Amino acid sequence: MTTSAFLTDSTLCIGCKACEVACKEWNGISSDGFDWSGLSYDNTYSLGAQTWRHVKFVEGIPEAGKGGNHPEGSAWNFSSDVCKHCEVAGCLEACPTGALVRTEFDSVYLQPDVCNGCAYCVVSCPFGVLERDEDDGRAFKCTFCYDRQKAGLTPACAKVCPTQSIQFGELDDLRDRAQERIAELRKRGVEDVVVYDPQHTSVKGSHAIFIVRGDPKMYNLPPNPQVPTESLRAGWTSAAIAAGFVLAGTLMAFLGAGAKKL
Amino acid sequence: MSDLHRLQPKIVPQLEREQKLTLIQREALQFAPSSASAFPVASTKNGYYELPMVKEPSWSWEVPLYLFVGGAAGSAGLIGAVAHVTGDASDLVSHARKIALAGAVLSPALLISDLGRPERFLAMLRVFKPQSPMSVGVWVLMAFSAGTTVANAGEWLHNRTSYSRLAALMQNLGDIASLLFGLPLVTYTGVLIGATVIPAWNRNVALLPAHFAASGMAACVGLLELIGHKSPALQALGLGAAVVETGMGALIELNPAPEMKPLKHGPSGWLIRLGGVLSGPVPLLLRACSFFANRKQASKLRKYAAVSSVVGSAITRAAWIHAGHVSARESRPA
């Protein structure tokens, strides 16, 4: 079994959104409508039921006399976001129908023919990827082009990326390549590059890793994403104790009431 | 300069035209950003253009109503079973079982209606996943429904036929199942919403199961009292639930964590407070007063406490779901 992965390098992204278009084209998903957000050149807002790639436009706070991508200047960064296909995936744990499965490529795949639209995955994804399509009724997310991978093809977004900002390959290879890339960038004077790959958290790393400039928080990439299953122990312990108290209380109340009558 | 001045038309103030401009101004102001900066920016503090980190729950009105109905029904199953075992001779057992049955019918209906694809409800019954509170909950609800149905059927047989041994067996088995699965039914909903990424819910994952258990008990006791039951056991349970709910309110108010904000501030915070006051201090005070009142007044005070508890429980469930929406909207990368 191979672990397929994306390495999305924002230092190479030119913000052309070909990945968004290719994803919609191949997967036959509908448009995001037409809305001027006023948030830089991003009129897509976020990933969702019909949006499985989303190019983020992060503008540095403008300063007089500084602009463009000059290392010391105010930067304008583009980064194509996608489902992280977590090593430990909250959506996969939460799904009560088994519609969400782990594939032979180690990706997380939602089987649309099984999903009944309970929407529990929506509140279980620490990255806010999954969404229920209110017209269709089911939840949807990036399939990691499961159909294309089965046929030995590159995912649609990676295929069309004109600058190799989206690279597709084996996870370990891409992790190495990411480290080499940021070492090279730092040598060239781009000091603020980091690799986003939350391996130290309960998510245990993602199969879509990112190279971004600046704090990943600016790209809504959380430093400490948590799988909700982490809270199960606390929740069920409380439930068990509460159930014990309720049972004991009810027994005492009725035994006491009976005793009074006698 | 003076020529130009002469060319300009003399403006006569016209109230009607000025009012039109005021109207346009008011409409335009709706599109103005509320904060001081012209547009949100991507920052370490506010994340990507202040857009939410996690998605809002997409459940509709059925889910908060289910939390209320399921909580009351689970407690009713428990009360019916315990009252039966301890030999309560009144209609209490029968009425509690009927409330449980009504809840057992209504709950799956609400949950199925909330599904995006209701016709595929059975997909949930093809797997059991202990790591998914939703999966655990569905099976608990199914088992509870089966139990309370058997108990009610046994009672029907007992009243209408002469199969007394079969009727007794069915009532006993049904009551055992109602008790065994009623207890998780009233508590699991706390784990269901607590073990999610919604910050306000997740922060309270250890509080919610106990909170919801007390809320369900208060609602069930209230319903039975409104039917007309005056058992001192119900008074004791109502008092206990009110004490716990008062404590829960205090725990929420005193927790300074930033994730608690939607539970304490704004409309969602006031809704939580309203539900909390109606479930906690109000019935607690009314029930305490009823001990010192004469019989007629005491019965009236208990009825008021019952109404307050039932309404408080329903508001509490709706308030928690609403606060979850606010919390998701305000979520930032952390």
B 80-109: CB under 8 A from A:
82-83, 86-88
Delineate the domains of chain B, giving CATH numbers in brackets: 62-329 (1.20.1630.10)
| Residue A59 touches partner B, C-beta closer than 8 Å | yes
Residue A173 in contact with residue A72, Cβ under 8 Å?
no
Pairwise CB contact (< 8 Å): A226 & B197: yes
Question: In the predicted model, what is the mean pLDDT of residues B236-243?
Answer: 97
> Which strand (E) or helix (H) includes residue B272?
helix B266-279
DSSP-based helix, strand, coil % in chain B, nearest 5: 75, 0, 25
- Give how far Cα A128 sits from Cα of A86, A124, B48, B134, Å: 13, 8, 13, 19
| Residue B22 touches partner A, C-beta closer than 8 Å | no
Residues in chain B closer than 8 A to A262 (CB atoms): none
Tokens of A184: 């090279």
Would you place residue A247 in the very low, low, confident or very high pLDDT band (cuts 50, 70, 90)?
A: very high
| Residue B190 touches partner A, C-beta closer than 8 Å | yes
Q: Which residues contact B189 (CB under 8 A, 6 or more apart)?
A: B67, B70, B71, B137, B208, B209, B212
- pLDDT tens digits, residue range A222-238? 999 999 999 999 999 99
pLDDT of residue B33: 60
pLDDT of residue A64: 55
Q: Where are the beta strands (DSSP E) in chain A?
A: 4-9, 53-59, 76-82, 100-102, 108-110, 131-132, 139-140, 166-170, 193-196, 208-213
For the cut 80, the answer to whether the pLDDT of residue A60 exceeds it is: no
Instruction: Find the range with the poorest average confidence among A246-260, B173-187, B209-223, B251-265.
Output: A246-260
A4-226 CATH pick, 3.30.70.20, 2.20.25.90, 3.30.365.10, 3.30.300.30 = 3.30.70.20
Question: In the predicted model, what is the mean pLDDT of residues A247-259?
Answer: 90
- pLDDT tens digits, residue range B135-190? 999 999 999 999 999 999 999 999 998 888 999 999 999 999 999 999 999 999 99
For the cut 60, the answer to whether the pLDDT of residue A66 exceeds it is: no
Pairwise CB contact (< 8 Å): B206 & A237: yes
pLDDT of residue A160: 97
| ipTM (interface pTM) | 0.93
How far A152 CA lies from chain B's nearest CA (Å)? 31
Pairwise CB contact (< 8 Å): B117 & A117: yes
When scoring A32, A226, A254 by the number of chain B Cβ atoms within 10 A, the one with the most, hence best to mutate, is A254
For the cut 70, the answer to whether the pLDDT of residue A62 exceeds it is: no
Would you place residue B96 in the very low, low, confident or very high pLDDT band (cuts 50, 70, 90)?
A: very high
Would you place residue B67 in the very low, low, confident or very high pLDDT band (cuts 50, 70, 90)?
A: very high
Mean pLDDT in chain A?
92
For the cut 80, the answer to whether the pLDDT of residue B92 exceeds it is: yes
| Residue A242 touches partner B, C-beta closer than 8 Å | yes
pLDDT of residue B9: 65
Tokens of A54: 């989303």
Would you place residue B315 in the very low, low, confident or very high pLDDT band (cuts 50, 70, 90)?
A: very high
Residue A80 in contact with residue A165, Cβ under 8 Å?
yes
**Residue in this structure with the two tokens 């370990």, named with its chain if needed:** A172
Tokens of A9: 């390098």
Q: Tell me the residue type at B267.
A: P
Domain ranges of chain A: 4-226, 229-262
Pairwise CB contact (< 8 Å): B78 & A231: no
- pLDDT tens digits, residue range A160-210? 999 999 999 999 999 999 999 999 999 998 888 999 999 999 999 999 999
| Residue B44 touches partner A, C-beta closer than 8 Å | yes
pLDDT of residue B87: 87
Centroid of chain to Cα B129: 24
CB atoms within 10 A of CB A50: 18
Q: Distance from first CA to last CA of chain A, Å, rounded?
A: 71
